Structure 1
């Protein structure tokens, strides 16, 4: 088995921040020359850059970061390449038909999987195109259609412990201010992986994902090193 990184490097000069979230800042607080060691203070939201979210991020009473099981952060993964459709429509919502077409080639998605969509947004990281803000300041990026999220849950494909992943800001279509898909996915022990990188290296099937990051008490999630484990 080998590892591939699915995380962006955090850099205040390039890290795209979701509208309204706190800015990402690094402050040097000790240097080798003056203090004998090098240390920086990090200021960021729990969902800055590549990260995973816990169910309690959107739903009160659902598990938070310190209430998840270790197995919730290690899941088999499948990848749907929807880049061509997203080039034509930045607000594209992945459909049940898209998933069924994928399954005709690769077989049924195993229960409790991490279903990752590769929209092409990872290539826009560090530019204004990543947020792709409209006239009202709202981001425009692809995501899952609401009915697709419900179907993935109801059929067991993400089930009780599984989730969705994306290289964009969230599993919701960016223009959807109701966050309906997030409310659906972020329940039980399901997680969401967001702002993934290097999805070219993740195969369509056969891989697992492993989520790192820090576990904050009552955390909504964590900026993370997210790895693809390839057989």
Structure 2
């Protein structure tokens, strides 16, 4: 029987290592019951909806657009492609992924399917838990890669991210860190498109052929959710060889 493989694309949330976007609420875990005292163990969690690995709903940046409880499962289960731009980002922390980068990827892998999740692998996942992830300068500005605005407009206009696809990244957001206007986010978060941010383990996601599956809490009128985000890989039989889950 053919069985899809799941790989985790999420960081573990840990107050000791979780990088917080400037201005977001602090992340705290407080033990409120112990087995010794209460017969069970549980903690109180305080965090923003976009702490650690998360997905954002369209209303996160656009008034009147869909919020978390307006989305359906089809908005959270999408074909995925991964574009490896680590070399460019290693040379330039402010790198903006171009239309040319996407076209070069398509020459090797074929056209991106309609309404896809287009994920860029910048290499920022390896910096998680350290000051290098924020990469702030002396003036406090963030420096991390993202999409060029023209690239996202082209992805939307050509249907590649369509009505309910989106963009993903292992950095804080699809915007280059230096853009404080969030122009890319405001464009991505239209219609029913979502954004996946602070992804992990992208080495385990193939360039094409996988889907992404987004979990997390569906808060009433939520701007998104901290999440378990999975890569759903094609069955091993489709490749002609036996494949073991990465990790």
- Using the size of structure 2 for normalisation, the TM-score is 0.93
1:118 aligned residue: 121
1:206 aligned residue: 209
C-alpha distance in 2, partners of 1:138/1:127? 16
Q: Deviations over 1:141-189 (max 9, x none)?
A: 0000000010000000000010000000000000000100000000100
Residue of 80, 85, 96 corresponding to 2:83 = 80
Structure label with greater radius of gyration = 2
Give the number of equivalent residue pairs.
231
Q: Residues 35-184 of structure 1: matches in 2 within 5 Å?
A: 35-184=38-187
Mean CA deviation greater in 169-178 or 135-144 = 135-144
Q: CA RMSD in A?
A: 0.4
Q: Is the 8 A contact 1:19 1:138 kept in 2?
A: no
Runs (5+) with no aligned partner, structure 2: 235-247
Q: Is the 8 A contact 1:16 1:130 kept in 2?
A: yes
2:220 is paired with a residue whose SS is: coil
C-alpha distance in 1, partners of 2:88/2:52? 24
2:11 aligned residue: 8
Runs (5+) with no aligned partner, structure 1: none
C-alpha distance in 1, partners of 2:52/2:139? 23
- Using the size of structure 1 for normalisation, the TM-score is 1.00
C-alpha distance in 2, partners of 1:69/1:181? 23
C-alpha distance in 2, partners of 1:19/1:32? 36
C-alpha distance in 1, partners of 2:186/2:106? 25
2:138 is paired with a residue whose SS is: coil
Q: Which runs of 4+ in 1 moved over 2 A?
A: none
